[in-house]
Copies of this chain bind each other. A is one copy, B any other.
Amino acid sequence: MTSPGELAFEPLTADEFAPFGDVIEARDSSAYFVNNGQAQRFHDLAKIDVAAGDGYPLINIFRGAPTHFPLTLNKIERHPLGSQAFIPLGNYQFLIVVAGTTSNDLPGPLRIFLSNGHQGVNYRPGVWHHPLIVLNHTTEFLVIDRGGTGANCDVAELSNRIVIESPEILNLSS
């Protein structure tokens, strides 16, 4: 998998993803035992922020088909009124494409993260992101996002189009 210029695929870590939202994973720092020691609870892994307007949280499943490569990234979107969390239902790697916001309220340079297959993400409200890029296998995600009225999807064209040539990224599997 190649990308032009300086753009690199980054492993998904909480620190590097912090400008965009939360990484949802079983972190020992957040864990304690419940049910007489029969289970561990990894507590409070992401901030659900969907109350703007008349918003309320939804639980959904997304079923994503494998991506056809080469893939041209030409648009990006954001949801100003609500966070949106995606957690893979099983061990499936996938790519997350995000961008900061410029002083002109447009998407800044892209960053591309690779989930290790057990990690989900939660975009904060208003964070520019591409639809998740599913790799070789049809992948289901649990999705927690916002229900309610209001204009909750902005779309921007990308002036510098990025082409992802092939899913060789899978060689980076942990």
A interface residues, Cβ below 8 angstroms from B:
24-26, 34-35, 38-46, 48, 56-65, 67, 85, 87-91, 118, 122, 131-132, 134, 140, 142-144, 147
Contact = CB atoms under 8 A, between A and B. Distances in A.
Contacts of A85: 59
Q: State the oligomeric state as a number of copies.
A: 2
A34 to B, nearest CB: 7
B48 A60 contact: no
Closest 5 CB pairs of A and B: A42-B61, A35-B131, A39-B64, A90-B90, A46-B59
A3 to B, nearest CB: 20
Given A39-B62, A142-B142, 12 more contacts: A26-B63, A38-B64, A39-B63, A39-B134, A40-B62, A43-B58, A45-B60, A48-B58, A57-B144, A59-B144, A87-B89, A90-B90
10 contacts: A26-B61, A34-B131, A35-B64, A38-B64, A39-B62, A39-B132, A41-B60, A42-B60, A45-B59, A89-B90
A60 B43 contact: yes
A89 B132 CA distance: 18
A141 B139 CA distance: 17
A65 B43 CA distance: 17
A57 B48 contact: yes
